[in-house]
Amino acid sequence: MEQPTNGAPSPSGPIPGRGGRAGGKPAPDGRAHAPGTARPRTGRRDAAGAATPRTPAAGASSTSAPAPAARLRRAARLRRGIAVASLAPLAVAVTLSTTGSGSPDAAGHSAAGPVAAGGGDGIDACRISGPLGTQMSEGLPTTAGYARSTGRVRALNLLVDFSDAEGEGTVDDRLKEFFPQTTRWFERSSYGRIDYRPETPVKRWLRMPKPFSAYGIERGAPFEPGYRKLVRDLVKISDPLVDFASYDLVNVLVTPNAGPSALDTVLSVTFAGNREAPVADGVPLANTSFLYSRQDDGSGSYARTGYRVLPHENGHVFGLPDLYTQDGGGAVGHWDIMSEDWGADNDLLGWHKWKLGWLDDEQVGCVASPGTHDFTVAPLAAAGHDRKLLFIPLSHTSGIAAEVRTRGGNDDSVCKPGLLVYRVDADVDTGQGPITVADSKKESGGCTRSPNVHAELSDAPFGVGETYRDDGSRTRVEVLGRTEDGEYRVRVHRD
């Protein structure tokens, strides 16, 4: 989980090319997963594509120091994903310039990942993938073990308290913090392709047999031993009342007075694709999210936006990585809920929607061949089956994506509509910068002062007459114009 930033501008780091980043978010404090042995992992790359050293996994978790203090107390960020290996260096350096070129299924069940086949310019060339061992890779298709992300998804909610942290308020009050807002968020983001159904068969606090302090739950805590004990005790208490085999994922809603304030330390965490999780009713609880203290920044927006920690955590359950980095949150900003889940409502990137099966292949313009390619791209928030994503593969593990972002749908804080361009690296682990947004106006300070929205990248989209350049692959993405219907005319040129 990420910390609040209070909207203060943060310096922007190098844009795509796997260089270092500076910025205004604290680092993630735990990263994944199925318990495993420590092994070296490859992290971000410098401008020449050389790998930079990264701390090895220790029991499949990692910690890092918080970012510089902001006006609000910094919250230590915490996430989990699935443990998986090292990566091969890329030799792609991307630079950015702005020029004046150009003229002004909800009923059925299915697995995670794209749901259509064919279409586009060699669509298979755009299905980049990471090597075996990449933690929560951005590659396609999503690896097995995560919850389905299309069709009917049954989410089991269990509410727990402890002798040293008794349930705060009623169970209904706690549930209203997340529902029906979370269901509506998924419906909007997926264009109705996911039917997210929260269910709470036990309408009372489930008292754990040990005090909260006995489980050793703290930021960065791995699954072993504390969370395993907690899950085992929870199964023992609830199994007579719940058929775990009927559900796709589990949300453990802990009484919010257990543990520290989220302004000090964020404990909320997800264990996704965890094959060694305790078993109940014949199924492992492999995809489980734990929600703790309320993410209330004091701005008065909690009642409207405080639920968003749950779509973020469930994003991990569906196989999505953390997009904030150990150096801060300046890589993606507020353009994806996997980067920032404090503050104003926001959506997922188009790449993630394709990965989850919410965009068909026919809605993706794949530019794998040299030459000039013209497209009309609809806003990501718009309904319908128009093209919503462009992708330019740079190698079998990386590429450049582009989509139109406007204020609409789940995006409340877009202050500069336009073509958002970003690099995707499928061989970079969760929390290490697998996606980097290109800033069309570097060091501008951004166009928003909305609390807890990364300001510097708020004006990142490219407008009419602006061009993104990837000098490493000699690729240009030009915004030629905007139609009366709000679609953008985009030209991609590859030498």
| Interstrand relation of 364-366 and 269-271 (parallel, antiparallel or unpaired) | unpaired
Residue 113 or residue 435, greater confidence: 435
Structure-model confidence comparison of residues 100 and 389, the more confident one: 389
Mean pLDDT of the chain: 80
pTM of the model: 0.79
Model pLDDT, residue 121 = 62
Other CB atoms within 10 Å distance of the CB of residue 295: 29
What are the phi and psi torsion angles at 58 (to 5°)?
A: -125, 100
147-163 pLDDT, tens digit per residue, is: 999 999 999 999 999 99
- Give per-residue pLDDT as tens, 169-205: 999 999 999 999 999 999 999 999 999 999 999 999 9
Reported as a pLDDT band with limits 50, 70 and 90, residue 304 is confident
Residue 396 predicted with pLDDT over 90: yes
User: What pLDDT shows up at residue 327?
Assistant: 66
Which pLDDT belongs to residue 50? 37
Q: Which of 422, 397, 75, 17 is nearest to 267 (CA)?
A: 75
Tokens describing residue 140 = 């396609």
What pLDDT score does 299 carry?
74
Q: Is the pLDDT reported for residue 266 higher than 90?
A: no
What percentage of the chain carries pLDDT values higher than 90? Answer: 63
Q: What is the four-CA torsion angle of 34, 54, 331, 50, rounded to 10 degrees? A: -130
Is the pLDDT at 317 greater than 80? The verdict is yes
Question: Which run of H or E residues covers position 220?
Answer: none
In the predicted model, is pLDDT for residue 101 greater than 80? Answer: no
Position 329 confidence tier, pLDDT thresholds 50, 70, 90: low
* Mean pLDDT to the nearest integer, 83-110: 32
Phi-psi group of 6: left, alpha or beta (phi > 0 → left; psi -120 to 50 → alpha; rest → beta): left
- Yes or no: say if 289 and 314 are a contact pair by the CB < 8 Å rule: yes
Q: Which helix (H) or strand (E) holds 52?
A: none
What percent of the chain clears pLDDT 70, i.e. is strictly above it? 75
Query: What confidence tens digit (pLDDT) does each residue in 26-82 have?
Result: 333 333 333 332 223 334 443 333 333 333 332 222 222 223 233 233 333 333 333
The larger pLDDT score, comparing residue 27 to residue 388, is at 388
> What average pLDDT does range 250-262 have in this prediction?
92
DSSP string, 25-89: -PPBS----S----------B-TTSPBPP-PPPBTTB---PPPSP-SSPPPBB----------PP
- The answer on pLDDT for 104 being more than 80 is no
Closest by CA to 407, choosing from 453, 367, 370, is 453
Q: Is residue 221 predicted with pLDDT exceeding 90? A: no
pLDDT for 63: 26
- Is the pLDDT at 11 greater than 60, yes or no? no
Do you know the residue count of the chain?
Answer: 495
Burial bucket for residue 274 (CB in 10 Å: 0-12, 13-18, 19+):
buried
Mean pLDDT of 372-388: 97
Residue extents of the structural domains in the chain: 109-494
Q: Which two tokens stand for residue 34?
A: 């199925």
Which residue bears the tokens 């298709």?
141
Q: 418-453: per-residue pLDDT in tens?
A: 999 999 999 999 999 999 999 999 989 989 888 778
pLDDT reported for residue 328: 64
Confidence band of 456 (pLDDT split at 50, 70, 90): very high
